Amino acid sequence: MKMRKKIRRPIKSSKKDEHKPFLGVQAKTLLNEQKSESNNHQIAGTDKANTNSEQVANSGRITPKKQIKMQQKGDKDDKNAATSQSDEKGDKVMELSESQVGDAISYNTKRFKNPEEIKVLRKVLGLSAESSEIDEVLVKTIAEWQVLKGLIEDGKVGPKTAASIGYEMLEKSKIDPSLKSSAIKMLERGIVISFSGNSYTDSATESRKNIKFNVTVPKGLKREDYALVNWVKGYMKQGNGRYFTAVLYGSTVTANYGSYQVDSLDPDPIYWSEPGARWTYNKEGSTKFTATDSPGPALSTETGADYNLNFKLQVYRLSDIPATTSGNLGGAESKAIATVFWKYKVKVSATGKFSH
């Protein structure tokens, strides 16, 4: 594991020790649901629906709104059905307020910068693909889809909604291969990075932060296709005002970084890589991978020392990360998929006490 260690100390690896719109109801399924809603309360288009073998009709596009109306109609016709599937989940079809619509438009506008990606999203939700506008109609249609999937109804394409829509797109790409690249991009919006243990553990002699990073990759993607890059900015300064030294990219450097640069002991920029093995993360479950870190530590004997390090950990496609680095990713920096910020800040007093 790549950890920020002062060169004058042996590097200890904690890794080994801890270390055509289709999002609607398909024609055949709709007919079946209308005939017997009480026997089958499954909305086609959910993860349980079989979309591999059925084609979506080119005419009579069925949008999420139509799905909801037809589902509700089926319930009314069936005396034995007390509630629709969405009601069983505790969800009801609700109209977003004006402020909610505005909030969703703002959120989605920040998330989607590529007009073509917006057009694809509109198309698969049954809206006009001629427009790349993120408007009230789009966010309300997204909210209708969220109701069908049992998600929070807010009109925002957050990670869970993106993972849901992306997986449906991926399934449809088996019939329409032109959708695959768009499906992958949408699924990648569902990748989530988080951390735990983001607190200091101080003893009488040292101050540590034993942090764990968790990356969850949605169904439909391979976790081995994604990797982490850690960036560092800041400094490690001794009590006499001089900077500590550190190892970056195989060379000894002064631990004073004015702007973010790749944080890596060896030339490979991938976080937690080892010689001859780029992907060495811990696997958890079927969709998660993790890594741990423990920067420093600051010692009580380093009176007057100041550790002020800011980190930026990002998820990238493994294929986008160059084999070597001298501090950057050769232009691939903008391809980051998910980001978290963390820090290691410790001051050692004249009496050897720690503060953060």
Give the list of residues 6+ apart from residue 150 with CB closer than 8 angstroms, or none: 86, 89, 91
Strand boundaries in the chain, DSSP class E: 192-196, 201-202, 206-208, 211-216, 226-237, 245-248, 251-254, 256-262, 282-284, 288-293, 298-299, 306-317, 338-348, 354-355
Dist. CA 189–CA 95, nearest whole Å: 25
| Angle formed at CA 326 by CA 325 and CA 329, multiple of 5 degrees | 45
Helix axes 159-172, 180-188, angle to 10 degrees: 160
Ramachandran area for residue 10 (φ above 0: left; ψ -120 to 50: alpha; else beta): beta
Query: Which tens digit of pLDDT belongs to each residue from 38-96?
Result: 333 333 333 433 334 334 333 334 355 555 554 444 444 443 433 334 444 444 556 89
Residue 144 contacts residue 95 (beta carbons within 8 Å): no
One-letter amino acid at 252 equals T
Distance of CA 245 to the CA centre of its chain: 34
The residues near 250 (Cβ < 8 Å, ≥ 6 apart) are 265, 266, 267
Examine residue 297 and say whether the peptide bond preceding it is cis (omega within 30 degrees of 0). Answer: yes
Q: What is the mean pLDDT of the chain?
A: 82
CA 232 and chain centroid, separation: 21
Could you give the CA distance from residue 153 to residue 282 in angstroms, rounded to a whole number? 34
Please report, as a single letter, which amino acid is at residue 264: S
Q: Among 54-58, 127-131, 211-215, which is the least confidently predicted range?
A: 54-58
Which residue type does 223 have? R
**Per-residue pLDDT reduced to its tens digit, 251-262:** 999 999 999 999
Residue-level pLDDT at 66: 53
**Cα–Cα distance measured from residue 175 to residue 216, given in angstroms and rounded to the nearest whole number:** 27
For residue range 160-177, what is the model confidence (pLDDT) as tens digits?
Answer: 999 999 999 999 999 999
Rounded (10°) angle between helices 136-149 and 98-111: 90
How far apart are alpha carbons 221 and 187 in whole angstroms?
7
- Using N-to-C axis directions, what is the helix angle for 115-124 and 180-188, rounded to 10°? 100
What pLDDT is recorded for position 8? 35
Q: pLDDT (tens digit, 9 = 90+) per residue, 237-292?
A: 999 999 999 999 999 999 999 999 999 999 999 999 998 999 999 999 999 999 99
Alpha helices in the chain (DSSP H): 14-17, 27-35, 64-77, 85-88, 98-111, 115-124, 136-149, 159-172, 180-188
CA 27, CA 56: separation in Å to the nearest integer? 7
Its pTM stands at: 0.77
Q: Are 314 and 338 in contact (CB under 8 A)?
A: yes
- Token reading at 229: 């890059």
Amino acid at 337: I
